[in-house]
Amino acid sequence: MLYKYSQILFKQKNYKEAIHYLNQITVKDERNLKALIMLGKIYFNLGNYLKAEKYFKRVLEIDESEIDSRLLLAESLFMQEKYKEVIKLVEDLPKSKKGRNFLLFEGKSYLKIDSFEEAENIFTALLGDGKDNPEILTELGISLFKQNKLKKAIEVLKKSLVLTVRIKTPCFIWVFFIPKKINYLMLKLS
């Protein structure tokens, strides 16, 4: 009952009250996974990454397989600039559970600690599945730039720019950018 009420408060972003009720739950049952996860998420949303880290670590102590909490823990650590801890957290994961998001944080962490080659390898592997992601392309471009691979960096960054503009521009605007030749053909057909 208390948990469900806290869930409503969480959705309403009434974090202060939600914390109050969730704490009541954890006092009674300190291994209550759902309450601990929600507390972690609340502190994460409030930008208190240290406390979020504490709760997500407790969650993982109870249940190692809690993948969402692990990802939020990685993000909390990243936000606190604990880059080496992020890398360790991802490396400790079995290969099958290393999703794109984990690898993205690992790559970004390598970039932050100036291990540019490792970062490049991770971002290249992430792009290997054929899906061009502007965020990953940008990070790859930065890691190439940091290694002075300027020509390749420009190429990657320009690709990322095109994709970012495409994502951020509503489809109907793209009609204006259809090359003139195609416009001409369309007119001819009609």
Residues near another protein (CB under 8 A) are 134-135, 138, 141-142, 145, 148, 150, 153-154, 157-158, 160-161, 164-165, 168
Cα 118–Cα 121–Cα 123 angle in degrees, nearest 5: 110
As measured in angstroms, the least distance from the Cβ of 185 to another protein is: 31
As measured in angstroms, the least distance from the Cβ of 94 to another protein is: 31
Q: Which is nearer to another protein, 76 or 138 (CB)?
A: 138
Q: Which is nearer to another protein, 56 or 123 (CB)?
A: 123
Q: Which is nearer to another protein, 87 or 137 (CB)?
A: 137
Phi-psi sector, 81: left (phi>0), alpha (psi -120 to 50), beta: left
Burial group, residue 155, by CB count within 10 angstroms (0-12, 13-18, 19+): middle
As measured in angstroms, the least distance from the Cβ of 161 to another protein is: 5
Residue 105, SS3 per DSSP: helix
Q: Which is nearer to another protein, 125 or 150 (CB)?
A: 150
